[in-house]
Chains A and B, each alone.
Chain A
Amino acid sequence: MRGRFKKREDFFPQTTTYSLLPFRFTNLGTAYLLTNEAGEFFRLDSNQLNAFVNKTLPFDSDCYRALKAKHFLFDDDTEIPLNLTILKSRTKRQRVANFTSLHMFVVTLRCNHRCLYCQVSRKDAFSRDCDMLPEVARKAVEFVFHSPSPTLKIEFQGGEPLLHFSAIKLIVEEAEKINAVNKRNLSFVIATNLTLLTDEHLHFLRDHDIFISTSLDGPRSLHNAYRIKEGAQDSHQVVTANIRKTRDFLGPHKISALMTTTVGTLSDPKAVIDEYVKQGFTGIFLRWLNPFGFAMSNREHSLYTVEEWLQFYFSCLQYILSLNKDGCVFVEYYTALLLEKILTPYGTGFVNLQSPAGIGIAGIVYNYDGTVYPSDEGRMLSEMGDKRFCMGNLLTDSYEDIMLSPALLKPLEESVLECVPMCEDCAFVHYCGADPDYHFATQRDCIGNKAKSGFCKKHMAMFKYIFRLLENPEDRRVLESWVCWR
C-alpha cells in the first residue's frame, strides 16, 4: 500500500510566510487578549504575541492554526480569512444603515411616584399641560415610519404613561393602520410602574400584543425605600400583585422588570436576585444609576463609586451563575447583551453599546410637546434648561430637518469609537459603545477623556471579568446559553 497516496503537501504548496490581518490587543495582566474587525478573539502570552507580529510563529503550531481560523492572519494557502473578516465586519455594522428601530414616546410627564433617584422631569398626577396632544401623537407616528429600519419598536414612557392611556391607544391604532400597508416588524412596549393597571388596560394590551416593562428594585423594604408612591401606599405590594395579574392575563413572557441599583442594593446582592426569582422572573437587568438629569440634584448617584458597583455586579454574576449550575435558568440581561456582541457576528440594538453612538439612530425620543431628542438624557437636559440636544419639533420641522440637525449629527460624528483616543486601539472596541450622554453629563464633552471615564472603567472591568469567565468551561456553558444565536 506504500506510495499509493500522495502526501497533502504534494497538492498544496508549503506555506512560506503569512500576513497579519488588522487586530487590536489589550493587556489582561497574565495574558493579552486579541480581537479583530470580525469581532473574533484569542488569548496569547507576551512571547506568542511578539512571535506572531514578528512572523516567527511556527506554521504547524496550534496557535498558528487557531489565529488563522479566527481571521487574525492569512497565508499562501487561502485568503478566506480576509473575505470572512469583510463579511462579518459588514454584518456587524448593518444596523447603521437600518436606523432607527426604537421610538420612545413620552406621552405625559405626570407620575404617581416620587422615586428618590428619578432622573426625569416628573409632574404630580393631577398636573395639566404636560400630556401629549393627539396632533403631536399623529405626527410622531408618521415620523416613526420614515425610519428605514425593518424593525420598529414603539416604547411608551413618562412620567407614568398609564396616566395618559388615551394617547397610547391613539398611537397604537394609528401605527397599526400605517403598518397594514408598510409591513414592518412593529412592536409596542409600555414602561410603567404598573400601579395603575386596570382590566381595560389589560384587554387593550392583549388585543394589540403589547409588552410591559416594569420596575422592581428588590425586596419590599428596598423597593419602597426608593420608589415612593403618592398617597404613601405600599408600592411593592401593588406592583407584585399586578405583575402576577399581568402574567395570568397576557402570558408569562409579556412582562419584564428593571431594577435600579441604589446604595441600599449594594450591601445584599443576593436579596435582589432572590426577589426576582421569587416573583417568577427568569432574568434581571442589573442597572446602575447614571448621573443624569434630576438624579444629579438628588445626589443619589454620588453615593456609590464605579468600584462599588463593580463589586456588586461581580457578586451578582457569581450568584446567578451558581443558580444556573443548580438548575435554575436565570439570565443577567446586560451581560447577555455584551455576550451577544462578543460571541456572535451580530450587533445589538442597545443604545449605549453602539459605534457611532446609538443616539437618534438606535433610539429616538418624542417629548409630549412635540420636541424630538436623540436620547432620553438629552430630553432631561432640555427640561433642566439646556436645549443643545433638541433636534427640532414634530409640529414645525420635517423628518429631514430633524434627522440632519446638528444636535444629532455633531455627537454622532464625534462618537465613532474607532476614531476616539484610547478606544481606537482598545481590544473591546467592537463590544463596547460610545455613550455621549454619560460623558457630557460627567465631563461636559460628548467623547470625554476615556482614562478618566467611569463608563470606560466600568466596561473595561466587566469585559475582563467576562473573558475570564469564558475561560472556565462550566461558566462558559451557562453564559453561552444566555445568547440569542439567531
Chain B
Amino acid sequence: MKAATIHIDLAVYSLEAIKKTLYRLSDRCSGNIEKISDSKAGVHLSFGDNSDRETVLADFHTELVDQDLREVITRQTLPLRNLILAHAFSRTNLVSDGDEEK
C-alpha cells in the first residue's frame, strides 16, 4: 500500500482543518494525525490502490487551504448565521422558548 507523511505547522493550520481535509479525501486515502508538539503535527496518509499518490497529495494541500479560509469566514460570520437561522425558524413552532431546557 502506498503511503506518505506530511508535517503541518499548527500555528498556520488548525487540527480541525486537518481533520476536515482528511474526511473530504476519505474516498481516496485514509489518514492518521499525530501531534508531534504544540506547534507541529504529522499526518500519515495511506492511499487506496486506485488512488494516484501525487494527485491526492496536491488535493490535500488545496483542500487544507480552503478549510483554513472557511474557518476565517466562520469566525467572522457565526453570530450573523445564528441570527439568520433564528429568524428563519421563528414562525415554525420548532424553536424552543427556552422553558423546556430550564
**What is the interface of chain A, defined by CB distance below 8 A to chain B?**
19-25, 27, 37, 49-50, 53, 82, 85-86, 89-90, 92-93, 96-97, 421-422, 425, 449, 451-452
Interfacial chain A residues near B78, Cβ < 8 Å: 22
- For the complex, give the distance between the alpha carbons of A425 and B81 in Å: 13
Q: When the two chains form their complex, are residues B26 and A452 in contact, meaning their CB atoms are under 8 A apart?
A: yes
A-B contact count (CB 8 A): 76
Q: When the two chains form their complex, are residues A451 and B24 in contact, meaning their CB atoms are under 8 A apart?
A: yes
Question: Mostly helix, strand, loop or mixed at chain B's interface?
Answer: helix
Other-chain contact of A20, B76, B88, B92 (Cβ < 8 Å): B76
Interfacial chain A residues near B81, Cβ < 8 Å: 22, 37
Q: When the two chains form their complex, are residues B69 and A90 in contact, meaning their CB atoms are under 8 A apart?
A: no
Known: A53-B69, A97-B93, A425-B67; 11 extra A-B contacts, CB below 8 A, are A22-B78, A22-B80, A37-B85, A86-B84, A90-B89, A93-B89, A93-B92, A422-B24, A449-B23, A449-B27, A451-B27
Q: Does B2 contact A (CB under 8 A)?
A: no
**Which one of A90, A92, A421 has the highest number of Cβ atoms from chain B below 10 Å of its Cβ?**
A90
A-B contact pairs, 10 of them (CB 8 A): A20-B73, A20-B76, A22-B77, A23-B73, A37-B88, A53-B72, A89-B87, A90-B88, A93-B88, A421-B23
Interfacial chain A residues near B1, Cβ < 8 Å: none
- For the complex, give the distance between the alpha carbons of A50 and B88 in Å: 29
- For the complex, give the distance between the alpha carbons of A27 and B65 in Å: 11
Interfacial chain B residues near A25, Cβ < 8 Å: 66, 69-70
Q: Does B94 contact A (CB under 8 A)?
A: yes
Write the B55-92 contact mask toward A (1 if CB under 8 angstroms, else 0): 00000001000110110110011101101110111111
Interfacial chain A residues near B76, Cβ < 8 Å: 19-20, 53
Known: A20-B77, A37-B81, A425-B70. A86 touches B87 (CB 8 A): yes
Q: When the two chains form their complex, are residues A97 and B92 in contact, meaning their CB atoms are under 8 A apart?
A: yes
